[in-house]
Amino acid sequence: MSEPKILILGAPGAGKGTQSDRIAETFDVEHVTTGDALRANKEMDIGYLDLKYDTPGEYMDRGELVPDEVVNEIVKTALDDADGYVLDGYPRNLDQAEYLDEITDLDVVLYLEVSEEELLQRLTGRRVDPETGENYHVEFDMPDDEDVRERLVQREDDTEDVARERIRVYEDNTAPVVERYEESGELVRIDGERPPDGVWEDVRATIEEAS
Ligand code: AP5
């Protein structure tokens, strides 16, 4: 396998973004993330689709899924442009999983397992540097630079109420996607409830084995 096509699954806060950054750098593939793509287009006018809300941001700030019509298009364009990739944040329901089957073949499907208590602690403690997009955590991982510390912000969907709703939406919509890949024999479970370096050892070994 020259340029691996990797899917990374996991609940909100499981560490998909953290591990995907390392995968992209080490295996020289694109990091395709629907969350970042949608955050960059939160105010995009989707009123012409005549859906519940007129912008992606209105779904995201409530912890709801952005409609498939919007997200499928973003993913198709990104995958068409990439030889190898790590796909993070998609598919989030069974319809999206079927669509993904139609547009690409996967080499590796990773699933980061983390308990709900730990997910909530990670999400509510996450802080983002608005200048670089880098993620930090108020307890586990704060920047040394005081200027950076002072400019950190909390994502609008990382408040406790919205984080709980995101986990509920995940259980309803995305847990069946995990089952689907388990049943097809593609899923590799990884214990995500360890420090990032420990998780990374297993992630890297799994991808190397499949290569
Ligand atoms: P998205 O941005 O994809 O959010 P998410 O899936 O909820 O994932 P997160 O980014 O919150 O978590 P992560 O697993 O990447 O963890 P991270 O590495 O950052 O989606 C946001 C919204 O967009 C959705 O709610 C929805 O509205 C919309 N959307 C996106 N995709 C969509 C789709 N396909 N269809 C419809 N709507 C869609 O880590 C979290 C924190 O934990 C950080 O602070 C990090 O420093 C820390 N951390 C990470 N790993 C560890 C570790 N091992 N130990 C300790 N701390 C750790």
Helix 16-27 and helix 196-210, axial crossing angle in degrees, nearest 10: 50
Determine, yes or no, domain membership for 159.
yes
Which residue owns the Cα nearest ligand 1 atom 1? 35
For 61-120, what is each residue's pLDDT tens digit?
999 999 999 999 999 999 999 999 999 999 999 999 999 999 999 999 999 999 999 999
Q: Is 166 a catalytic residue?
A: yes
Q: Is residue 72 part of a domain?
A: no
Please tell me the total count of domains within the chain. Answer: 1
Greater pLDDT, 3 or 199: 199
The runs of H, that is alpha helices, within the chain are 16-27, 34-39, 56-60, 68-80, 94-103, 116-125, 146-151, 160-169, 175-183, 196-210
92 catalytically annotated: yes
Catalytic residue selected from 155, 180, 189, 194 = 155
- Asked whether residue 78 is domain-assigned, the answer is no
1 confidence band (pLDDT: 50, 70, 90): low
Whole-prediction pTM: 0.95
Say how many Å lie between the CA of residue 121 and the centre of ligand 1.
13
Determine the distance separating the centroid of ligand 1 and the alpha carbon of 18, expressed in angstroms.
Answer: 9
pLDDT number for residue 56: 97
Report pLDDT digits (tens) over 109-134: 999 999 999 999 999 999 999 999 99
Residue ranges making up the domain that contains 18: 5-29+83-209
Residue with tokens 């105010």: 43
Q: Of all residues in the chain, what percent carry a pLDDT higher than 70?
A: 100
Rounded distance, CA 169 to CA 199, Å? 25
Give tens-digit pLDDT for 173-209: 999 999 999 999 999 999 999 999 999 999 999 999 9
Would you say residue 21 lies in a domain?
yes
From residue 171, give the alpha-carbon distance in Å to each of 43, 46, 93, 186, 206: 27, 26, 10, 20, 25
State the DSSP string of 70-113. HHHHHHHHHHHT-SSEEEES---SHHHHHHHHHH---SEEEEEE
| Ligand 1 surroundings by CB, under 6 angstroms | 10, 12-18, 34-35, 38, 59-60, 63-66, 71, 89-90, 92, 96, 122-123, 126, 135, 137, 140-141, 157, 166, 195-196, 199
Q: Rounded distance, CA 211 to CA 201, Å?
A: 16
pLDDT digits (tens, 9 = 90+) for 6-50: 999 999 999 999 999 999 999 999 999 999 999 999 999 999 999
- Short-list 36, 85, 35, CA closest to 207: 85
pLDDT score, position 203: 98
At position 194, the amino acid (one-letter code) is R
User: Does 106 fall in a domain?
Assistant: yes
Whose C-alpha lies nearest to ligand 1, atom 12? 13
Give the domain CATH number at 193: 3.40.50.300
